[in-house]
Structure 1
C-alpha cells in the first residue's frame, strides 16, 4: 500500500504546483487522480489524511475558478480533517471556512 500512498501524495503535489501556476484544469486532473486512487484503498488514518488534503486542495482550486462543485470537496475535506485530527488538514479546513461564516 505504501506505493499507492506515495503515488497519491505525488499527484496531490503536482496538483498544487499546477494550481500555483494557474493551470486549474491540470490541477483538477491531478487531484482527481489522487482521489480515485485513495478511494480504492481500505480506510485508515494515512488514507483519510491524504483524502482530507486532496479534497481541500480541490476545493481551493475549484472555488478560485468559480466552480459550483467546489462545495462538495469542502464538505468532504472538512469531514476527513475532523475524523483524522490531522493538525495541518484541520488548519487548512479552518482557513477555507474563515470566509464562509461556518464553524468547524
Structure 2
C-alpha cells in the first residue's frame, strides 16, 4: 500500500510540474491518475491529505485554462483539507477560495 501512496504522490508532483511548464493536458492526466489510484485505497489520513492536494491542484489547473468543471474538485479539495487539518492543504484551499469570497 505504501507504494500506492508514493505512486499517487509522484503523479501529483508530475502534474504540478507539467502545469507550471504549461502542459495542462498532461497535468490533468497525471492528476486523474493520482485520483484513480487514491480512490482504490482505504480511508486513511495519508490518502485524504493526498486527495486534498490532488483535487485542489486539479481545480487550480482547470481555473488556469478557464475550463469548466473545477467546482467539484474545489469542493472536494476543501472538504478533505478541512477534515485532515493539513496546514498546507488548508492554506492552498484558502487561497483557492479567496477569489470566491468564501471563508473556510
Give TM-score, length-normalised by structure 2: 0.99
Unmatched 5+ residue regions in structure 1? Answer: none
Query: Partners of 1:22 and 1:100 in 2: how far apart?
Result: 24
Structure 1 stretches of 4+ moved >6 Å: none
Give TM-score, length-normalised by structure 1: 0.99
Superposition RMSD on alpha carbons, in Å?
0.4
Q: Name the structure 2 match of 1:9.
A: 9
Query: Partners of 2:24 and 2:70 in 1: how far apart?
Result: 12
**CA offsets 1:28-49 (integer angstroms, 9 cap, x no match):** 0000000000000000100000
**CA offsets 1:9-59 (integer angstroms, 9 cap, x no match):** 000000000000000000000000000000000001000000000000000
Q: Name the structure 1 match of 2:29.
A: 29
Unmatched 5+ residue regions in structure 2? Answer: none
Query: Partners of 2:37 and 2:25 in 1: how far apart?
Result: 19
Aligned length: 104
The alpha-carbon deviation at position 67 of structure 1 amounts to 1.2
Query: Partners of 2:36 and 2:67 in 1: how far apart?
Result: 20
Q: Name the structure 1 match of 2:69.
A: 69
